[in-house]
Structures are given as C-alpha cells and as structure tokens.
Structure 1
C-alpha cells in the first residue's frame, strides 16, 4: 500500500480533502497531519475580530471530514521531514513514512529583523492560535499593527470598529507601514477612511525594535503600545530550509508548475509555504491557494500512477474585497476600485458560500 501524507491543514489541502471520496483507490492510504483539528478561514478573520462572526462561523472541522472520508487524522505539528528517508517527524517524536508528501503548513509572522518583536507581539499565525488572542487586541488601549497589505488594513479597521461599538472609543489603533499599503489608488481611499475613523497611520517608516512600552521606528518615532501585531508579510517556517531541499531567498520551498519540489518529485508543496518557480511574484494569498487544490489532488494521485500531471496556472486577476469596518468594503479588481456597503455584502456572500462547501 502507498501512503500520501498531507502535512498541514491549509486552504489547498482542504480542497484536496473535499475532492477525495470514501470510495477512492483502497491501495492508497491518506494521512492528514494538522496542528489543530480545525481549519480557520483567514478570509473571515477581520469579521471575527469585529464581532460579526462567531468562532463556529469561521472554522471547519478537519477531523470530522477525515472521519467521513476514511482518512487518518493526526493532530500534531510537523517538526521536520527527511526527503532521503521519505520520513516526517512529528512534534511528539513519532515518525511517519511516506511515498508522497505534500506540504501546506502556511507561514508565520515573526520576522527576525525587528528586535524583540517575536517575544512581544500577539502572534495570530499559525491560524489556529488566532481566536485565543483576539480578545487581548480588542481590549488593548493602544494597539499597534506593523505592516501594510490587505491583512494589516482589514485588521486595523476591524479592531477599531469593535472598539467604537463596545465603549472603547478613546482607545488608539496605529498602523506602521514601510511602503504602500496596497497601491496608489487604493491607498487614497484607505487613508481617507483612516482619517475619518481616527486610526493613526505612519507611512514610509519602518519598525526596528519593540521595547516593553514602545515600538521604535527607523525615523526615531516611539509609538506606545499595550499590544502589537506584525502583519507585514509571510515568513517561512525554518523546517523548509532545514530539509535540504531548495528554497528561495525568503526561505520558502521551491516548486515547479506541477507543485512538486524542484529536487524531489515525491515532495509537493502549496499555499503560503511554497515558492512557485513558474510565477515567482505570486502573492501569498488564500485566493491562489484554494485554486491550487484541484491541481494538487490530481498530481498526487497521477504521480503515484506515473500518469500525466497538470500545471497550476494562477488566474491573471484576482478579486479582492477589503473589509473596512461597519459592514463596508473596498473592491479591488484589476484597475477598478469601488467602495460601499454592497462590496461588504458581496464579500460576506462569497465567504459564507465558501464555508458551506466544507462545513
């Protein structure tokens, strides 16, 4: 019997699980290893932080899916893997042999270049830690979010909205971004909304150190905080480089168009932890990770049977609906930028529809 180990319960593996049936090839054993029995959908994080969704609304029970589809489920963290031995080592020390290994272990948010950030921040990745740490950010009198991009913007708006609606209107939310938040057209809307909502914003400045009381920036600014979050981009898990397989300059494991690692055809990777050599500038986003699921499902099986495999080709334009609080959102699609309540309802409809496929 052949064994396929899926390490990590991310967006791509979730789609692989959905496509598997209980009546599949009995000569192949599937194993899912996940640090949590739940997959937390990042697209609804901001709504949860704002209080619009419950915990049950934003999570999917991986263990139940595995039980229904006769897939072995192991609730543990991947510690390391050895391509030469075709072996994964779990946090408990347990070892699993594989014929094919697929990595969808995501990323983390603790860059080493900001002094003392790792020990001071409220870390909301891995995603299964998210729900336990939101309350501290909601109730922080001074909350600092380091980073630009969709995640930082959405969380700033969401925490600010929660505070406004829960008697904490004198709390302060500050965003420190070293460059553009999204792009010039989007930033014009976002910065206007920041001003209107009283969200403090420091642009083109870089956080360099976190003390017990302040976030220190390159320009010399000292921003007071009670809680600090880094949402300035995905950071690669160290175990990827430690495996000996090729990684890019940021430490993410290199894969070809078939989502196979470039030096070992038995190891696949997808989602945030993968660096696609055919599209090196592909953003780390669930929008792309979900679409990789169909290709990964096909290729894992095809590679065992020595059949033809498919290439993953990302969509040329991705729809982004950016929640801005109070059930309003900013739509980004190609060169279009539109803002309003309708955009939030559209986002809510898409997110709930996505969850219904798996819950």
Structure 2
C-alpha cells in the first residue's frame, strides 16, 4: 500500500481530489492535511467583503468532500517535513510517513520588510482566517491597504461599496502601491474609478514603517489608519525554507515542469507555494493553480508506477477579472481592457459555476 499525502487544501489539490474516481488504484491511500475543514475560494473574497456572497457560497467543506471521495482527512497544519526520511510533522504532534508528498499550502501576506507591520496588520491569509477578519476592515473608519496588484485594488473597491451601501461616507480608504497597479492599459481606468469613488491612492511610493497610528512611506507621507492590510504580493511560508527542499530567492519551493521538487523526486509542490523553474516569473494566481491539478494528479500516480510524467505548461497569458464594486468589473487580457457590468457578470458566472461544481462533488 502506497501513501500519498496532500499537504494543504489549495486550488491544485482540489483538482486532484476531483480527478479521483471510484475505480482508482486501491493500493494507493490518499490523505489530505488541512488546518481548516473548509477551503475558502479567494476569487470570491471581494464579493464576500462587499456583501454579495454568503460565507457558505465561498467555501467548500473539505472534510465532507474527502469522506465522499474515500480520502482520509486530517484537520492539522504541517509544521515541518523531513524529505530525506519521507516524513511530515503536523500540529497535532503526529509524525506521518509518505511514499509521495504534494505541497499546496498557498502563501501568506505577512512580510517582514515593513517595520511594525507584522504585529499590526489584519491577516487574511492563510485563507481560513479570512471571514473573521473582514468585519474589522468593513467597520474601520480609516483603512489602509498596502499593495498595488489586482487583489489590493479589488478589495479597496469592495470595501468602498460595502461602506457606501451603509452610508459610511466619512470612512476613508487609502491604497499605497510601490509601483503601478496592473499595467499601463489598466491603470488609467483604475485611477479614474478611485477618484470617482473617493478612494485615496499613492502610486510609486513604498510603505516602510507602521506604528500604532500611522503608515509611513518613502516619500515622507504619514497616513493615519485604524486598520491596515498588506496585499502587496505572496509571501512564502517560513517553514518551507527550513524544509530541506530547494527554494527560490523568495522562499518558494522550486519545482520543475513535472511539478516535482528539483532535488526530491518523491515530493511535489503546486499553487502559490511553488516556484516553477521553467517559468520563474509566473504570477501567483488561482488561474494557474487550477490548471496544474490535472498534471499533478497524473504525475503523483505515474511516479509511483514508474510511468511517464507529464509537463505543466502555463498558458501564455491569464484572464484577470477585477471587481470594482456595485456589480461592475474590469476584464484584463493582455493589453485589452474592458469595464462594465458585463465583465462582472462574466466573473460572477465563472466563480459561481466553479464553486457549484466543487460542491456537487460532496452532495
């Protein structure tokens, strides 16, 4: 009997679980390890923050899904791995041994390069922390979001829409970006929408320090806040660097095109926690993580059977659908930018359909 440990309930591992049929190899035992019994779908975070979706609509019950798929489920967090000994230490104190290990533990937003931020920010990752942290941001009189990518912009728009619907017109939302928001095609539209909605923003200025009252920037700005949130890019879980696995300069696990780690053929990694050696600049996005699932599912089994492994080849460009509040959105694909209600309907259809398919697996 072989044991395959799936560490983390991220997008890629959900796709692996989906692919497992009743006729699968009976000599392979599958075990999912997750610190929470629910998977929260990040693509619907902004809609939840705005009040468009309920908590149940944005999450999947991993425990029930595993029960229906005849997979063992353990509600534990991975604390360390010993790849040379093929063992994993989890938060319950147990030591688990494996024949194949796959890591899909995502990323977090807790950087240590901004003084004072770690202990003062509202953490929304790991994803299972998300629901309980949203209310403090919704009710904050002064909310500062550090970051300039799609996630930072989307959450600023969503919190603004939530506040607007509740008459909180004196609340202030500020976005601080160290560079452009998205690109030269999208930024003029985003900036125009920020101005229309009264969302303050500072581009090409870097947050360097946070104390109990202000966020300080390189350009000598002192921005007051009640709550501060960092959405300036994925950060690697600290334990990965101590795992004995090779990592890139940011601490993400290095994998080759087969999603195997570059120095341990019995350990795989996918999603945000992995860095693809063949595509080192691949964005951390669920769009890519989901598509890794089919390759990962095949390769985990094929590696046990000593069969040919498949390569994961990312699509050349990914579609970005960025919600801007009040059921409007930006559609970004390469240099093409479209704004309006149709883009939001497109996003809503994709997200709701994805979640319905996942929930049907455990019905």
TM > 0.5 fold call: yes
CA distance in 2, matches of 1:167, 1:225: 20
Contact 1:257 1:311 in 2 (8 A): yes
Matched, 1:351 2:354: no
Matches within 5 A, 1:118-137: 118-137=118-137
Deviation, 1:356, is: 1.2
1:270 match: 270
CA distance in 1, matches of 2:167, 2:194: 19
2:90 match: 90
Q: Residues 190-224 of structure 1: CA distance to partner in whole angstroms, max 9, x if unpaired?
A: 00000000000011110011100001111111100
Matched, 1:48 2:51: no
Corresponding residue SS for 1:300: helix
1:202 match: 202
Instruction: Give the alignment's Cα RMSD to 1 decimal.
Output: 0.6
Matched, 1:291 2:291: yes
1:115 match: 115
1:173 match: 173
Contact 1:124 1:133 in 2 (8 A): yes
CA distance in 2, matches of 1:54, 1:9: 20
CA distance in 2, matches of 1:36, 1:16: 18
1:67 match: 67
1:225 match: 225
Deviation, 1:239, is: 1.3
2:100 match: 100
CA distance in 2, matches of 1:297, 1:220: 50
* 4+ aligned runs moved over 2 Å, structure 1: none
How many residues matched? 359
TM-score of the pair, normalised by structure 1 = 0.99
CA distance in 1, matches of 2:147, 2:122: 14
Contact 2:81 2:88 in 1 (8 A): yes
Which segment drifts farther, 16-25 or 326-335? 16-25
Matched, 1:320 2:320: yes
CA distance in 2, matches of 1:222, 1:7: 41
Any unmatched runs of 5+ in structure 2? none
Corresponding residue SS for 2:56: helix
Corresponding residue SS for 1:288: helix
CA distance in 2, matches of 1:22, 1:135: 41
CA distance in 2, matches of 1:241, 1:211: 29
Any unmatched runs of 5+ in structure 1? none
1:239 match: 239
Deviation, 1:317, is: 1.7
CA distance in 2, matches of 1:23, 1:74: 23
Deviation, 1:23, is: 3.1
CA distance in 1, matches of 2:239, 2:305: 29
TM-score of the pair, normalised by structure 2 = 0.98
CA distance in 2, matches of 1:44, 1:38: 14
Corresponding residue SS for 1:265: coil
2:335 match: 335
Deviation, 1:334, is: 1.6
Q: Residues 308-354 of structure 1: CA distance to partner in whole angstroms, max 9, x if unpaired?
A: 01000011121111100010000101221010111000100010111
